[in-house]
Structure 1
Amino acid sequence: MTTFTVALVLVVAAAGLLRWRRPAWYWLTFGVTLATLRVLVRYASVMDACGLTVPPSRWRLALARVTNRPVPVSRPPRILRFRPTRTGLVLRLGLRPGQDAFDVAAASDRLRHSFSMYGVTSREVRSGVVELRMTGYDVLKRVQMPAKLDTRLMRVPVALREDGSVHYRDYRAIPHALTLGATESGKSVYQRNLVAGLASLDVALVGIDCKQGVELFPLARRFSALADNPDTAADLLDALVSRMEGVYQLIRAEQRITAAVPDAEIAADIWDLPAHLRPVPVVVLVDEVAELALSTKKNDPRRDRIIKALVRLAQLGRAAGIYLEICGQRFGSELGDGITMLRAQLTGRTAHRVNDETSAKMAFGDISPDAVLAAIQIPAGLRGLAVAGDSSGGWHRIRAPHTSLRQAVNTCNRYADRTPALPELAPFRPELTSSSEAPVPLSKTAPVTA
């Protein structure tokens, strides 16, 4: 056996081992080169087999007849851009006259088989331009967030999408969101990633955890207010409504609507105010909404008060810089009056594994039937896998990187100095003590009563 043969066998064995044990490393070393050659060589024939070509135009046929040349072949979409990434390939295609973006989306599964890729998704960039994102391996099996992240004010990375791109939670684009998921579906890990991402920003965190605080109270050093029972939650929500009304008064006083002020500088929300006057934004995390909405009484004043406050915050809170993150296992009409009105205000939707189709419909039934089907197909063995969508009808499969409670606690402790003290929420701020035996024992401060 020659030296070249031995070297070739070693390379093939190393490639096979990497593909089995470390698919990401295999893609970066061998897969990206092989996939690039495969796509470029097969491109025209694959597009023709998938019905994504157009016949030659009449003038080209006439010119071929006049010059006695062969009949022109059908033309596939033009490749405007070809870019390898850390998870796959990105092709930007220019559609031919008569082609539609829906044709490319409908052929995504056939393109996946033809190009021997793990997944293919398409989106319309603009009229006549479609972007194909191909993944070379299962990026959601072992989530690895990229080193470079497009973080900005009120925009945090929380998960990885199935096409290899990062899923961001952008509060200025989607102010309020609903997260559903059964027990052990990964909902808590998603919430920890969200809190850890927000911890480094100039934002106030407010938590309502009616499971006696077991989920949010370990992160208390970064929270400006916390409630662990419905009674305290009702008072806390009323305080948030009062803060919202005060912020609106500030915006009205600083609207600057004189004729000399350009339209772009007229203040309509906190982000139009000067930086020295802008109130700190508030993110409200409700860990289990059913504990707030369920009641054994037919007409429960406390329950009606809580739902009314949540609905008001969802309808009016965006301009005042108050954003809602509602989590729960179910979010249907059985929770009582007003719950459907609240759900309609929650633009962002994320559903982890659910136990029945009805729960998936609570998240996506009024958005996309395809997202409902994708949510009920999430296997029990893949904790953290979820379907994320919004009111536009678009949706993606996502999975958050595993973040332990200790990691989230360490992050919150590191940025504890960024926790703003809000006067309206001072009675609900958790008391923190420390000792050599218990570094961060927490105790709940009861609200001040008259």
Structure 2
Amino acid sequence: MTGFVVALVLVAAVAGLLRWRRPAWYWLTFGVTLAVARVLVRYSSVMDACGLTVPPARWRLALARAANRPIPESRPPRILRLRPTRTGLVLRLKLRPGQDAFDIAAASDRLRHSFSMHGVTSRELSSGVVEVRMTGYDVLKRVQMPAETDSRLMRVPVALREDGSVHYRDYRAIPHALTLGATESGKSVYQRNLVAGLAPRNVALVGIDCKKGVELFPLARRFSALADNPDTAAELLDALVARMEGVYQLIRAEQRITADVPDTEIAADIWDLPEHLRPIPVVVLVDEVAELALYANKEEEKRRDRVITALVRLAQLGRAAGIYLEICGQRFGSELGKGITMLRAQLTGRTAHRVNDETSANMAFGVISPDAVLAAIQIPAEMRGVAIAGDSSGGWHRIRAPHTSLRQAVNLCNRYAERTPDLPELAPFRPVLPGNADSPTSAARPIPASA
């Protein structure tokens, strides 16, 4: 008996140490078993306490009265599946008649407390079927991306969501995005994760870094074009507009609109073209958009209008030509001048790191989701990298990108330098690399894109 007590105390001590120092290990060894037991044992009583049950059907009441039996209890949603994951539990529920998915979402905080979980989120999968994701620990405190992700050519895993799922930057679903964040908020790390995720893919990277290139120029071996000042940026954006127009001419030539061509084979963007004709997609990263919009004299104002006009044209028309925008900044409001609001309206994806005031959060989510604004201004300063990600549909998530140092990003870009495509329209802006000063455009061959 004494040996059993010692073993029990030892196991409890190990569990407590793991929960304190390695919460992910604790969850996989002890937490998941305890959590499944709590959910199964407490399920009916918790659902009843949270108001997530419905009265029994009338025919069951009538049958109970006729048979002189006890009145049936209220029924909670039926559990279709309970699946443990590496970060928590996934509960799939079938709602009873009269229940709504919003009822589950509104009770998420009460469910979190009742089941002793770290977080609870829900989403409706289909009519009457709701998926409830529970996290057993704070997955954003120490981000660990899963070894296997559902990544594709234009779908890049960049961060982890608070429910334990992976947050992807899907350019084909959301072509253009805006990333806001104060100094030291983790915005640069998020951008490095984007570059690191795109580096192994057959994608052309174009950078505009008006801070004299301190953020993007260390990654130059993987960039097809870079600009480090507003004047060069204006010329580079004009070249991108010219490329976009050339791609549209190619699409027009390959549309093949005849009676015998199926509707699904009519080309409307680069992804409808045959693979051997498909131009390589281009991702444009703007590190600090305010530097492109500020001006001090009439000459700079003309350049500023030229830059903003080009960005608006790319945002409005670039998707079909395979040109995608990633615009970053500390603020992105109407004080930057005319055209800024029009440009912001075209940026469907929104990511807001810690901001200095509520107005900055409103620039990202004000007309989309007031709840996302509140979540953005509550990000603590010590949690660098935590951000709120959403889109124009109103949905949003709390995310955090894994820490990627500048050295790690540089090493990855150097490893995949041979994948850097040589785009003729952007040849004058190809960064000059050491040992290649005489020919800045001879670093790589064009690489066809694949779906």
Structure 2 residue ranges without an equivalent (≥5): 442-451
Q: Partner residue of 2:430?
A: 429
Q: CA deviation at 1:297?
A: 3.1
Q: Matched residues in 2 for 1:127 and 1:413: separation?
A: 49
Q: Which amino acid aligns with 1:305?
A: R
Cα pair distance change 1:206/1:415, threshold 3 Å: same
Q: Matched residues in 2 for 1:59 and 1:261: separation?
A: 58
Q: Matched residues in 2 for 1:393 and 1:18: separation?
A: 38
Q: Which amino acid aligns with 1:364?
A: F
Q: Which stretch of structure 1 is more off in the superposition, 69-78 or 292-301? A: 292-301
Q: Partner residue of 1:153?
A: 153
Q: Matched residues in 1 for 2:212 and 2:152: separation?
A: 33
Q: Partner residue of 1:385?
A: 386
CA deviations on 1:152-194 (whole Å, 9 max, x unpaired) are 1200000000000000000000000000000000000000000
Q: Which amino acid aligns with 2:39?
A: V
Q: Partner residue of 1:373?
A: 374
Q: CA deviation at 1:444?
A: 9.2
CA deviations on 1:368-406 (whole Å, 9 max, x unpaired) are 000000000000000000000000000000000000000
CA deviations on 1:344-381 (whole Å, 9 max, x unpaired) are 00000000000000000000001100000000000000
Q: Partner residue of 1:278?
A: 278
For residues 11-410 of structure 1, the aligned pairs below 5 Å read 11-297=11-297, 300-410=301-411
Q: Which stretch of structure 1 is more off in the superposition, 64-73 or 269-278? A: 64-73
Q: Matched residues in 1 for 2:382 and 2:354: separation?
A: 10
Q: Matched residues in 2 for 1:241 and 1:291: separation?
A: 20
Percent of paired sites with the same residue: 87
Q: Matched residues in 2 for 1:284 and 1:94: separation?
A: 44
Q: Matched residues in 1 for 2:210 and 2:366: separation?
A: 27
Q: Partner residue of 2:445?
A: none
CA deviations on 1:99-140 (whole Å, 9 max, x unpaired) are 011111000000000000000001111111111000000000
Query: How many pairs align?
Result: 440
Q: CA deviation at 1:298?
A: 6.1
Q: Matched residues in 2 for 1:126 and 1:256: separation?
A: 38
Q: Partner residue of 2:444?
A: none
Q: Matched residues in 1 for 2:258 and 2:415: separation?
A: 45
SS at structure 1 position matched to 2:45: helix
Q: Matched residues in 2 for 1:293 and 1:328: separation?
A: 11
Q: Matched residues in 2 for 1:310 and 1:165: separation?
A: 33
Q: CA deviation at 1:144?
A: 0.2
Structure 1 residue ranges without an equivalent (≥5): 435-439, 446-450
CA deviations on 1:396-420 (whole Å, 9 max, x unpaired) are 0000000000000000001000000
Q: Partner residue of 1:5?
A: 5
Q: Matched residues in 1 for 2:257 and 2:64: separation?
A: 66
Q: Matched residues in 2 for 1:68 and 1:254: separation?
A: 77
Q: Which amino acid aligns with 1:410?
A: N
Q: Partner residue of 1:437?
A: none
User: TM-score by structure 2 length?
Assistant: 0.96
SS at structure 1 position matched to 2:324: strand
Query: What root-mean-square deviation, in Å, do the aligned CA atoms of Structure 1 and Structure 2 show?
Result: 1.5
SS at structure 1 position matched to 2:215: coil
SS at structure 2 position matched to 1:284: strand
Q: Matched residues in 2 for 1:377 and 1:306: separation?
A: 34
SS at structure 1 position matched to 2:251: helix
Q: Matched residues in 1 for 2:440 and 2:272: separation?
A: 36
Q: Partner residue of 1:418?
A: 419
Q: Matched residues in 1 for 2:235 and 2:353: separation?
A: 30
CA deviations on 1:42-98 (whole Å, 9 max, x unpaired) are 000000000000000101101111122110000000011110000000001100000
Q: Which amino acid aligns with 2:416?
A: Y
SS at structure 2 position matched to 1:140: coil
Q: CA deviation at 1:200?
A: 0.5
CA deviations on 1:185-211 (whole Å, 9 max, x unpaired) are 000000000000000110000000000
Q: CA deviation at 1:274?
A: 0.2
SS at structure 2 position matched to 1:432: coil
Cα pair distance change 1:444/1:141, threshold 3 Å: farther
SS at structure 2 position matched to 1:427: helix
Cα pair distance change 1:323/1:41, threshold 3 Å: same
Q: Matched residues in 2 for 1:127 and 1:286: separation?
A: 41
Q: Which amino acid aligns with 2:99?
A: Q
Q: Matched residues in 2 for 1:129 and 1:70: separation?
A: 30
